[in-house]
């Protein structure tokens, strides 16, 4: 079983291109269709600036935003053509969370970026990303706010406590695990009145081993 469709959320952040690259990297492993949704979560929030700085400021912000969107769209379509995958680009300027959620439930995998803590709008982005992750009902791959990742899915770590949420999470990474060369499960057990005691089980193609 493979991913057939991947939805990647994009905005005007510096990490948007990294999200494109990682989404296409995973898509190549599965020959999946890639849908890019450009939906900045901060557009509506910035409308408040009009009342403070005036319409000239807002008009300039919108021109800059449009330039960044066009450049990112060109980058996505160029990279898509290079990989010879199928895909599409969509742009929405309002109701980012609603638009993302409407499409998320039809995707096999969602790709979101992690907010940079130094970003002034980080708290708004965190709320958006968390709500999508919890409500979409689909596996979500978060792209860290820093770092380069030439390969994705080769090494997987699972936090395991035997509970319902852990079982669901392990099931949802099953597709990635089929491509992984290194899978580690961190097991946490708890005796009454004590702290959880971690054990680690490590899988390779040769089978499991305990540490």
3-state class (DSSP) for residue 89 = strand
pLDDT band (50, 70, 90) for residue 109 = very high
Beta bridge partners of 8: 36, 111
The pLDDT of residue 207 is: 45
Q: What is the pTM of this model?
A: 0.75
Contact 30, 86 (CB under 8 A): no
3-state class (DSSP) for residue 55 = helix
Query: Which CATH architecture is the domain 5-143 placed in?
Result: 3-Layer(aba) Sandwich (3.40)
> How far is residue 62's CA from residue 40's CA, in Å, rounded to a whole number?
12
Whether residue 33 has pLDDT greater than 50: yes
Whether residue 61 has pLDDT greater than 60: yes
Alpha helices in the chain (DSSP H): 16-30, 43-46, 48-53, 55-83, 96-104, 122-135, 164-172, 174-177
Q: What is the pLDDT of residues 62-104, one digit of tens each?
A: 788 899 999 999 999 999 999 999 999 999 987 888 999 999 9
Beta bridge partners of 124: none
Domains of the chain by residue range:
5-143, 155-210
Q: Exposed, middle or buried by CB within 10 Å (0-12, 13-18, 19+), for 121? A: middle
> How far is residue 81's CA from residue 27's CA, in Å, rounded to a whole number?
13
Q: Count the Cβ atoms, other than its own, within 10 Å of residue 14.
A: 12
Please provide the DSSP assignment of 118-175 as one string: TSTTHHHHHHHHHHHHHHS-S-EEEEPSS---SS-SSEEEEEE-SSHHHHHHHHHTHH
């Amino acid at each position: 079983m493979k991913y057939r469709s991947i939805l990647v959320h994009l905005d005007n952040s510096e990490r948007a291109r990294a999200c494109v690259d990682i989404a296409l990297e995973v898509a190549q492993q599965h020959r999946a269709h890639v849908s890019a949704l450009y939906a900045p979560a901060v557009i509506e929030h910035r409308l408040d600036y009009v009342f403070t700085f005036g319409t000239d400021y807002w008009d300039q912000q919108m021109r800059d935003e449009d330039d960044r969107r066009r450049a990112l769209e060109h980058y996505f379509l160029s990279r898509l053509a290079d990989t010879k995958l199928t895909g599409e680009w969509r742009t929405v300027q309002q109701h980012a969370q609603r638009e993302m959620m409407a499409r998320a439930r039809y995707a096999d995998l969602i790709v979101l970026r992690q907010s940079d803590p130094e970003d002034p709008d980080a708290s708004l982005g965190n709320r958006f990303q968390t709500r999508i992750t919890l409500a979409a009902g689909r596996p979500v791959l978060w792209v860290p706010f820093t770092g380069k990742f030439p390969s994705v899915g080769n090494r997987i770590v699972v936090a395991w406590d035997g509970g319902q949420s852990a079982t669901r999470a392990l099931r949802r990474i099953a597709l990635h695990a089929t491509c992984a060369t290194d899978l580690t499960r961190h097991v946490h057990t708890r005796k009454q009145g004590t702290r959880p005691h971690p054990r680690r089980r490590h899988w390779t193609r040769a089978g499991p081993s305990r540490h």
